[in-house]
């Protein structure tokens, strides 16, 4: 049996206040092509379908179209809610959708019924475990000791009562200890939401969602497929893909990554303003990508963002990487000041904050300014 593992679509996401809906529409169409080309038997979506618990009408419309195009192929779709989703809203109409082979995890009540699919090796049981917090599990099983996220998931799995000798696949949306994170993810301070990977050891494959970087945790039997698009510049160096899982007989598993190509990449550019605006350097490059530009000029460039957007229209973030920004110094008090002139004090403050003295032009400007407000200067 072959199935596609997806997660963290984050439909409706805005990056630096720029809507990603058009990019998401493009990548979902590409995913549909991958599904057709690989002749997958099912599609798994491991949470964070939407970016917000109350998604926009445009986001709902886009995902509705994606599900409809999947249903046209009579392809089973198995889906759980993530921490960004509203379980109640996502599961609306799930009993009706089951007639179209679209299975959505209901609000967690402590009881999970598997979705069973079959191939030449027999049945495969898919268990849909939505994003869980310890309080939810304590409410369902007050007799159990649930003090952590690991406890919550371990108790939830134990109460599934599945036959370990059969083939079992779990969909879950949690942060598994040891996995690599990035800035775009919502994680608890101190790692309180960590789940130990041993919770999933009895499953033939655990299709995880929550973390945006594609990665195995311990082995290829426990895997984050990652987001289909880059959603922050901390993901700029990641290679996005679709995870294709081929499940053979009991104990036989093959995982393949199929690269995805966005309409516009999200990446970082670094260099001096003159070099970045030199036509010879940017000609025949994708200047309409979503960019974070790091200027290495020692002096601030006047109106840099507007001038750069004339060449790079999707500039999302502009920052400087130079001597001043790389050196962090505490600004101490000036010490004894009675016999020190205001311009000297300001010069000292400027140098401590910027790791360089004022230029002659800057110093002349400050002297003129101080004289104009009646301050004594050299």
One digit per residue, the tens of pLDDT, for the chain of length 378 reads 999 999 999 999 999 999 999 999 999 999 999 999 999 999 999 999 999 999 999 999 999 999 999 999 999 999 999 999 999 999 988 888 998 999 999 999 999 999 999 999 999 999 999 999 999 999 999 999 999 999 999 999 999 999 999 999 999 999 998 888 877 666 655 567 899 999 999 999 999 999 999 999 989 999 999 999 999 999 999 999 999 999 999 999 999 999 999 999 999 999 999 999 999 999 999 999 999 999 999 989 999 999 999 999 999 999 999 888 777 544 455 455 456 678 888 888 887 777 678 888 888 888 888 877 764 444
Domain boundary at 242, 259, 276, which?
259
Q: Which domain holds residue 309?
A: 266-326
* d(C-alpha 132, C-alpha 137), whole Å: 8
Domain boundary at 259, 284, 308, which?
259
| Angle 137-140-143 from CA coordinates, rounded to 5° | 90
Pair 236, 199 in one domain: yes
User: CATH code at 239?
Assistant: 3.60.21.10
User: Sign of dihedral through CA atoms 336, 340, 345, 351?
Assistant: negative
Q: What is the DSSP string of 13-30?
A: -EETTEE-HHHHHHHHHH
Pair 231, 118 in one domain: yes
Pair 254, 277 in one domain: no
Domain boundary at 231, 259, 287, which?
259
* d(C-alpha 66, C-alpha 56), whole Å: 16
Parallel, antiparallel or unpaired: strands 2-6 and 42-46: parallel
Domain count, the chain: 3
Pair 168, 306 in one domain: no
Pair 145, 235 in one domain: yes
Pair 22, 143 in one domain: yes
- Burial class of residue 283, CB neighbours in 10 A (0-12, 13-18, 19+): exposed
Pair 296, 337 in one domain: no
Pair 212, 248 in one domain: yes
pTM higher than 0.95 for the full model? no
């Amino acid at each position: 049996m072959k199935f596609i593992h997806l997660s963290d679509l984050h439909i409706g996401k805005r990056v630096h206040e720029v809507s990603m809906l058009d990019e998401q529409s493009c990548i979902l169409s590409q995913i549909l092509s991958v599904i057709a080309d690989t002749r997958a038997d099912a599609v798994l979506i491991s949470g964070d379908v939407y970016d917000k618990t109350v998604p926009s009408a445009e986001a709902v419309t886009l995902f509705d179209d994606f599900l409809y195009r999947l249903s046209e192929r009579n392809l089973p779709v198995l889906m759980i809610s993530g921490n960004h989703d509203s379980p109640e809203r996502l599961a609306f109409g799930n009993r009706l959708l089951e007639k179209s082979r679209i299975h959505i995890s209901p609000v967690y009540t402590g009881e999970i019924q598997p979705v069973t699919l079959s191939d030449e090796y027999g049945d495969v049981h898919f268990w849909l475990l939505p994003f869980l917090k310890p309080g939810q599990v304590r409410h369902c099983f007050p007799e159990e000791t649930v003090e952590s996220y690991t406890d919550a998931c371990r108790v939830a799995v134990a109460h599934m009562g599945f036959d370990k000798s059969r083939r079992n696949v779990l969909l879950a949306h949690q942060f598994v200890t040891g996995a690599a994170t990035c800035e775009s993810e919502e994680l608890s301070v101190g790692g309180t939401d960590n789940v130990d990977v041993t919770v999933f050891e009895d499953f033939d494959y655990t299709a995880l969602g929550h973390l945006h970087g594609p990665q195995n945790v311990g082995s290829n039997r426990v895997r984050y497929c990652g987001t289909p698009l880059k959603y922050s510049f901390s993901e700029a160096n990641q290679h996005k893909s679709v995870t294709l899982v081929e499940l053979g007989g009991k104990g036989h598993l093959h995982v393949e990554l199929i690269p995805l190509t966005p309409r516009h990449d999200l990446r970082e550019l670094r260099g001096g303003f003159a070099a970045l605006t030199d036509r010879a350097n940017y000609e025949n490059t994708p200047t309409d990508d979503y960019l974070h530009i790091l200027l290495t000029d020692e002096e601030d460039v006047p109106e840099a963002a507007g001038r750069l957007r004339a060449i790079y229209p999707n500039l999302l973030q502009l920052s400087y990487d130079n001597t001043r920004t790389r050196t962090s110094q505490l600004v101490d008090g000036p010490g004894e000041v009675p016999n020190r002139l205001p311009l000297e004090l300001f010069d000292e403050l400027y140098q401590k904050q910027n790791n360089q003295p004022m230029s002659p032009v800057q110093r002349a400007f400050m002297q003129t300014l101080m004289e104009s407000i009646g301050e004594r200067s050299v």
